[in-house]
Amino acid sequence: MNKRLNSRQSSPKPLSDKEKAQELLFEAYESTGNKRKQLVEKALKLYPNSSDAYNILAEYEKNPEEQKKLYLMAIEAGEKELGQAFFKENQGDFWGIVNTRPYMRAKYNYALLLHGMGMLKEAIEQYEELLELNDMDNQGVRYQLFVAYAQNGLLQKAESVLKQYNEDITAHGLYNKLLIEYLQNGPSQKAKKQLKKAKDSNPYVIDYLIQKKKLPRSSPAAYGLGDESEAIVYAEQHLHLWRDNVELIEWLKESR
């Protein structure tokens, strides 16, 4: 009798198709090339509602239109997996719930792709929805949304992002406040004060904005507040916003 009970207790519970698919994805993350892709495709056959699986497939796709389709499939899979009620109940706190992250990654990747393709209106919609789902913004969506707003001439909305996520100790926060002030009011007294704050926080940024220094070929793996690597990261993401205004660049040069 005891042997039979022990046998039942020690028998492993069979994995569901979802669990089997997840095991394949774990293996895929540790693999490369065709093997990785094959594992992902096998996982999707077992469990189609896997956002991460479509995310991985999108990485292999070079055609932007095909990438769009795959990211949309990833988003749709996540929506089916989580369910409409879940979205309503957990809006604002999504990232804190681990099983939402594949969906959030897919949506962010989709937004970045749209942004890169010049589809600003569509990208902004995705960014805004991401912040509604997770207002703590663990993904750093606000930085891309600011750029998209500024590119689209939506300066008041760009300014509202800066106010919502006040960052008075980072190059992103201080130089973006300077940028918006200048674009709205020119070389005002407020702009001059903001420039001093920005330069005090990170003096390296100016040289990259006025192109006295060229950006390196690869981005820094990490950066610290106030150091040159932070300046490089900021310039990589924002240089085009500054270069579009010749008078602003001349003003920066004179300020040195």
Q: Using the predicted structure, report yes or no on whether residue 193 has a pLDDT greater than 60.
A: yes
Supply the DSSP string of 54-114, one letter for each residue. Answer: HHHHHHH---HHHHHHHHHHHHHHHHHHH-HHHHHHHTBBGGGSGGGHHHHHHHHHHHHHH
**If DSSP codes are grouped into helix, strand and coil, which group holds residue 213?**
coil
**Residue 25: closest CA among 9, 36, 12:** 36
Residue 217's pLDDT is what?
Answer: 92
Average pLDDT, the chain: 93
- % the chain with pLDDT above 90: 80
pLDDT in tens, 4-22: 555 555 556 788 888 888 8
Pick 8 or 188 by higher pLDDT. Answer: 188
**Residue 235: closest CA among 250, 252, 215, 256:** 215
Q: Distance between CA 176 and CA 178 in Å, rounded?
A: 5
Q: Distance between CA 115 and CA 119 in Å, rounded?
A: 5
Contacts of 167 (CB under 8 A, 6+ apart): 173, 174
**If DSSP codes are grouped into helix, strand and coil, which group holds residue 134?**
strand
The model's pTM is 0.88
Average pLDDT over residues 48-71: 93
pLDDT band with cut points at 50, 70 and 90 for residue 31: confident
What are phi and psi for residue 93, nearest 5 degrees? -125, 25
Average pLDDT over residues 122-137: 98
What's the burial of 212, exposed, middle or buried (CB within 10 Å: 0-12/13-18/19+)?
exposed
Q: Using the predicted structure, report yes or no on whether residue 2 has a pLDDT greater than 70.
A: no
| Residue entry with tokens 């793996």 | 221
- % the chain with pLDDT above 70: 95
The most distant pair of C-alpha atoms in the chain lies apart, rounded to whole Å, by 90
pLDDT in tens, 88-127: 999 999 999 999 999 999 999 999 999 999 999 999 999 9
